[in-house]
Structure formats: structure tokens, C-alpha cells
Amino acid sequence: MSHTFVLEAELRERTGKAEARRLRRQGRVPAIIYGGDKPDLPISLEFFDITKKLDDERFHTSMIEIKVKGKRGKQTALLKAAQYDPVKDMVTHLDFQRVSAAETVQIEVPVHPINHEKCPGVVAGGLLEVVRHVLDVECRADSIPEAIEVDCSSLDLGDSVHIDDIALPDGVTVPHDVNFTVITIATPSALKGGAEAVEEAEEGEAEA
């Protein structure tokens, strides 16, 4: 289940684009904590610390304790959104949503295929394709799985894993109306056909 991270934050006395730029020049990242029937709380975080945590996949599905300098107590939240500079690919702003441990939340959790290297379909030359890289799960905030593992050891060529085939952790559900595909083993002929289609399209473009 989910890990708990701790962040040290400072209160932002002012907001706005000019203040956000000033903070970034000082090596800090502006952020906001909202929700929980409490006022929005503008904060800033140390750039290198938060960048390191963002690189940890668990950070995106874990409870986060935010300690704000000068304020008593702590804020318990989930990361809801991260904005990045499109050129430098550096984080520029973060949104955190307050939650309690027992609160039911909806959050995206990554899909991790396991044992696929030795499954019959891959051994025969097929390619494992992850159709859904994340699943929208519903569970308690303190019971968010770090990932949804899908055992692929028995999959053969052309086989697929649908959402109803996956054994989810206790207390975790994936609300859905359609039994959608999560993982499939593409056959060599399908892969060849796909490659040929790309080549034909490129040749057509060149002739045009």
C-alpha cells in the first residue's frame, strides 16, 4: 500500500505571476493546498527536494504530510496536478488536495505487468502491449496501491487481460461500465502488418 511522504513548505504571503517568478528565481516552486472545507493555502517548496520526490512514482499515489513553516499542525494531502515548463521540462506549480486517511478518493494508479518475459506469447515472438498504463481506482486515501500488478505469465499470442480479469487489492475498485482491455499480446503477424502500414503511409506521403 501507499507510502507517506513529508514535505517542508513555506507560506506564500503574496500570489500572482510576478511573485511566482520571484520564487522560482530563488529556487522554490509555488504550490496550493485546497479542499477539506478549509481556505486555500498558498505555499512554496524547495525545488530540488520536490523534483526528487516527483521522480519517485510512489509520490503520485501516496499520502503527503505537508509541514508549513509558521503554522501549527500539518496538512495531509494528495498530489492532484503538476505543471511543467514546456521548454525546460521543470516543475513550475503543484496542486495538493487535502484528504483524511479514511476518506474515499479517486486517483490514477499505474499498471505494472509482471512475469511477462516468460509468458508463452512473448517467448513465441509476440509483443506485450499495455493498453491502459494507468487505472482510475477508488479506495481509502490511506490504502492507495502503489501500482496495480497484472500477472502475465500464462498469456499466449493474441490473449488479452480485461479489467474484470484483474484481482484488485482489498478495498480497491475500478468503476467501469465496459470490460475494457488493459494488456494484450500482439501476434507477430499483427506487428508486421502494423509496420507495413506505416511504411505504405510514408511511401504515399513521399510520392505526394
Burial of 132 (0-12, 13-18, 19+ CB in 10 A): middle
Task: Report the pLDDT averaged over residues 88-101.
Answer: 95
Mean pLDDT of the chain: 90
Question: What domains does the chain contain, in order, with CATH numbers?
Answer: 4-98 (2.40.240.10), 104-207 (2.170.120.20)
Q: Given a cut of 60, is residue 72 above it in pLDDT?
A: yes
Mean pLDDT, residues 125-151: 95
Residue 37 pLDDT class (50, 70, 90 cuts): confident
Q: Is the model's pLDDT at 5 over the cut of 80?
A: yes
Q: Grid cell 512473448 — which residue?
A: 122
Mean pLDDT of 50-64: 95
Range among 17-21, 93-97, 99-103, 193-197 rated most confident: 93-97
The rounded distance, in Å, linking the Cα atoms of 52 and 37 is: 30
pLDDT for the residue 13: 87
Quick one: pLDDT at residue 70?
Answer: 85
The pTM score is: 0.81
Return d(Cα 126, Cα 57) in angstroms, integer: 28
